[in-house]
């Protein structure tokens, strides 16, 4: 299977809404062995000036990987998930993710580069918080490169 | 309260931490993150795709490494940017039923760069498991107070 080179420049609009819950922030924080009280204790988060629990710096991967799934599962893309290796990852936070946020992600395919028999695919998720009246506030930009290994790689 | 730029200088160490990892930890991370790729929990599947065994999620390593920065910064929201490249997998052996970890990840950090205008510090992390650097260019940008 080969990667479709026409993927570059493609984008996938925001699909489902991700509701950020307190227990999910606590679960994710425990899973990455984080112990900062602002992930667990609402009063501790408020003492730092936040309205509710603060998500760990890599929490946005949950939303970004859901957005990436649209591309990986797109039959036109030609990506074999069992041959995918995560090559790099970046999070740029315009503001922290806070419990109670309602987030959506727009996925952009920024690069497709042939490498050996495989390809390096770079995607970017623009994550926004939905406000009342349909407003959208930029929250986090994530960029990720995956290497899709070719046969014998 | 995050540190003040006047107390800091490039090259200064911010500390170190050892993270012990078990297969149970990978199952927990899979559930918490939604990444259920079987290479992170099923030995037979992992070896069938030419891996040496079950490996940790790159995002587990990245996510657990940044806690050193979060704790130093005093507020998780102070970490405004965080990036890495994944260079080597962290192989996690099956130690189920014992009190031994399946892998250890050693994280240390130092101040890579200070930006007085933006009032930020770039923290450069060194992340090693089984004697090999598993992350490269692991850099976190911290907004200072």
Residues 28-57 of B with CB under 8 A from A: 28-29, 31-35, 37, 49
Which of A24, A56, A85 has the CB atom closest to B76's CB atom? A56
What are the residues facing B105 on neighbouring strands?
B19
Write down the pLDDT at residue A20.
Answer: 98
**Of the ranges A28-37, A73-82, A116-125, the best mean pLDDT one:** A28-37
Which candidate in B17, B19, B37, B76 is best for mutational testing of the A interface (most A CBs within 10 A)?
Answer: B76
Q: Is B72 on the interface with A (CB under 8 A)?
A: no
Write down the pLDDT at residue A152.
Answer: 65
CA distance A91 to chain B (A): 5
Contact B63 A36 (CB under 8 A): no
How far apart, in whole angstroms, are the C-alpha atoms of residue A100 and residue A18? 10
Write down the pLDDT at residue B50.
Answer: 86
N- to C-terminal Cα separation, chain A: 13
Contact B33 A66 (CB under 8 A): no
- Closest chain A residue to the Cα of B46, Cα to Cα: A82
What are the chain B neighbours of A95 within 8 Å (beta carbons)? 77
Which residue blocks in B34-91 are alpha helix, DSSP H? 43-48, 58-65, 67-73
Contact B75 A54 (CB under 8 A): yes
Q: Is B123 on the interface with A (CB under 8 A)?
A: no
How far apart, in whole angstroms, are the C-alpha atoms of residue B58 and residue B88? 9
Task: State which CATH number among 3.40.50.300, 3.10.129.10, 1.10.3720.10, 3.40.30.10 fits the domain covering A9-21+56-148.
Answer: 3.10.129.10
Non-local (6+) Cβ contacts of A13 within 8 A are A106
Packed helices B58-65 and B23-33: angle between N→C axes, nearest 10 degrees: 90
pLDDT band with cut points at 50, 70 and 90 for residue A134: confident
Phi-psi region of A152 (alpha: psi -120 to 50; beta: other; left: phi over 0): left
Residue ranges per structural domain of chain B: 5-143
pLDDT tens track for B17-57: 999 999 999 999 999 999 999 999 999 999 998 889 999 99
Residue ranges per structural domain of chain A: 9-21+56-148
pLDDT tens track for A65-87: 999 998 988 888 888 877 888 99
Residue that has been written with the tokens 């995956």 in this structure: A146
Write down the pLDDT at residue B71.
Answer: 95
Contact A56 B63 (CB under 8 A): yes
- Closest chain A residue to the Cα of B45, Cα to Cα: A82
pLDDT band with cut points at 50, 70 and 90 for residue B1: low
* Secondary structure element (H or E) that encloses residue A28, with its range: helix A22-31
The superfamily (CATH) of domain B5-143 is Hotdog Thioesterase (3.10.129.10)
User: Which region among A8-12, A113-117, B73-77, B104-108 has the lowest average model confidence (pLDDT)?
Assistant: A113-117
What are the chain B neighbours of A80 within 8 Å (beta carbons)? none
């Amino acid at each position: 299977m080969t990667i479709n080179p026409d993927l570059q420049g493609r984008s996938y609009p925001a699909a489902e809404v991700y509701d950020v819950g307190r227990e999910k922030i606590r679960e994710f924080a425990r899973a990455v062995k984080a112990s900062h009280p602002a992930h667990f204790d609402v009063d501790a988060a408020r003492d730092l000036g936040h309205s509710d629990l603060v998500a760990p710096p890599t929490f946005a991967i949950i939303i970004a990987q859901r957005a990436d799934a649209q591309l990986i599962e797109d039959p036109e893309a030609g990506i074999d998930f069992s041959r995918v290796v995560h090559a790099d990852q970046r999070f740029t936070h315009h503001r922290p993710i806070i419990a109670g946020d309602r987030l959506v992600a727009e996925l952009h395919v920024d690069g497709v580069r042939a490498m050996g028999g495989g390809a390096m695919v770079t995607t970017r998720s623009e994550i926004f918080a939905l406000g009342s009246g349909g407003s959208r506030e930029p929250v986090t930009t994530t960029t990720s490169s995956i290497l899709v290994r070719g046969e014998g790689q | 309260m995050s540190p003040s730029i006047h107390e800091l200088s490039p090259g200064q160490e911010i500390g170190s931490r050892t993270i012990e990892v078990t297969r149970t930890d990978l199952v927990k991370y899979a559930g918490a993150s939604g990444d259920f790729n079987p290479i992170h929990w099923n030995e037979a599947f992992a070896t069938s795709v030419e891996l040496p065994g079950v490996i940790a999620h790159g995002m587990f390593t990245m996510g657990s490494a940044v806690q050193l920065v979060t704790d130093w910064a005093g507020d998780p929201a102070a970490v405004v940017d965080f990036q890495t490249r994944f260079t080597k997998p962290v192989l996690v052996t099956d130690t189920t039923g014992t009190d031994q970890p399946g892998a250890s990840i050693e994280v240390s950090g130092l101040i890579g760069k200070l930006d007085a205008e933006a009032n930020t510090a770039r923290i450069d992390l060194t992340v090693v498991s089984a004697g090999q650097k598993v992350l490269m260019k692991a850099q976190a940008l911290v907004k200072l107070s």
